[in-house]
């Protein structure tokens, strides 16, 4: 079992825990509206003061979207750190997954497309985390428009790739799990986008809930790569060092492991005459 499996497991642990900490900080500083206020449809005109003091004024500007939770300091600093670290880990995981598929099987269009979409998603995530929606709205929405669709496309490609490469029952079960997570993420993304466009307290809050569900599912999807990464070997690093090709020695090793004839298992049928004399 390879220690590389810790990397995909640590990504959802770090990011999911981090965004919940950001939400708790924003809630404590009254930068976003609490859930119970939205459930009871409490607005500024209904109740401005509680017994203990002034209550948070709930408007469409403080909906508890993930990006809204990380807009104002001090939680904005932690939100940027989580997004930047998570983006780097996503790029590393996507790259290792790309090389691992080449090592164990062979390169294909699905594998290359997954690498491209995964890296584009990481770039969009950096923009989301470092350009807060209240300070740089255009850049923030550009980053979100890049990160959300490409992350959805990435899990779709990886689900299809898992089915294509599956040979054992365990691998097929993993493919079924990823397909279910992909379908749930797609439904959550669509509902979040539809409700986000509505000028309603309840629907805006529903959009925030589905956005949280979508992000959690995507992070858990990355965690499932621990199954493949547990069998990762040094040949994966050889693939990366050779720029995506396994190389002559690696192909011979792969052929020997599969029981096939290697390049040196049979003499060359057309040896030069000088070599025969030697």
User: What b/e string do you get for 64-77 counting C-beta neighbours within 10 Å, with b at 16 or more?
Assistant: bbbbbbbbbeebbe
pLDDT tens-place string over residues 136-183: 999 999 999 999 999 999 999 999 999 999 999 999 999 999 999 999
User: What b/e string do you get for 19-38 counting C-beta neighbours within 10 Å, with b at 16 or more?
Assistant: beebbebbbeeebbbeeebb
pTM for the whole thing? 0.83
| Conformation bin of residue 30: beta by default, left when phi > 0, alpha when psi is -120 to 50 | left
Q: Which of 39-43, 51-55, 126-130 has the lowest mean pLDDT?
A: 51-55
The three-class DSSP label of residue 268 is coil
- CA distances (Å), 137 to each of 59, 79, 128, 141, 209, in order? 18, 16, 10, 6, 21
Distance CA 233, CA 102 (A): 12
Task: Spell out the alpha helix ranges (H) of the chain.
Answer: 6-28, 35-39, 66-69, 75-104, 109-130, 137-165, 169-196, 201-223, 226-229, 234-241, 248-258, 273-277
* Torsion 81-83-86-90 (CA) sign: negative
Please indicate whether residue 248 or residue 196 has the higher confidence score (pLDDT). Answer: 196
pLDDT at res. 63: 87
Strand partners, 50: 53
pLDDT tens-place string over residues 107-123: 899 999 999 999 999 99
Tokens read off for 58: 């709930």
pLDDT tens-place string over residues 213-255: 999 999 999 999 999 998 887 777 887 777 666 544 444 444 4
Distance CA 276, CA 90 (A): 54
Give yes or no for residue 18 having a pLDDT over 50: yes
- CA distances (Å), 225 to each of 54, 103, 163, 219, in order? 47, 15, 14, 11
Using 50, 70 and 90 to split pLDDT, how confident is the model at 48? very low
């Amino acid at each position: 079992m390879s220690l590389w499996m810790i990397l995909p497991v640590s990504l959802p642990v770090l990011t999911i825990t981090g965004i919940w900490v950001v939400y708790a900080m924003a809630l404590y500083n009254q930068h976003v509206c609490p859930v119970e206020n939205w459930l009871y449809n409490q607005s500024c005109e209904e109740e401005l003061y509680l017994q203990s003091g002034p209550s948070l004024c709930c408007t469409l500007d403080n909906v508890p979207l993930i990006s809204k939770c990380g807009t104002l300091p001090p939680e904005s600093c932690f939100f940027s750190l989580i997004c930047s670290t998570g983006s780097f880990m996503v790029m590393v995981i996507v790259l290792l997954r790309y090389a691992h598929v080449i090592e164990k099987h062979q390169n294909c269009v699905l594998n290359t497309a997954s690498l491209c979409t995964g890296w584009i998603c990481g770039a969009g995530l950096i923009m989301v985390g470092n350009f807060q929606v209240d300070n740089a709205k255009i850049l923030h929405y550009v980053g979100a428009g890049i990160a959300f669709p490409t992350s959805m496309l990435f899990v779709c490609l990886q689900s299809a790739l898992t089915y294509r490469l599956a040979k054992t029952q365990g691998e097929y079960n993993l493919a079924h799990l990823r397909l279910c997570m992909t379908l749930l993420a797609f439904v959550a993304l669509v509902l979040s986008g539809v409700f986000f466009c509505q000028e309603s307290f309840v629907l805006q809050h529903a959009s925030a809930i589905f956005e949280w569900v979508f992000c959690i599912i995507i992070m858990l999807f990355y965690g499932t790569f621990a199954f493949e990464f547990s069998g990762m070997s040094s040949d994966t690093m050889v693939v990366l060092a050779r720029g995506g090709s396994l190389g002559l020695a690696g192909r011979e090793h792969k052929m020997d492991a599969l029981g096939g004839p290697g390049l040196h298992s049979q003499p060359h049928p057309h040896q030069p005459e000088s070599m025969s004399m030697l």
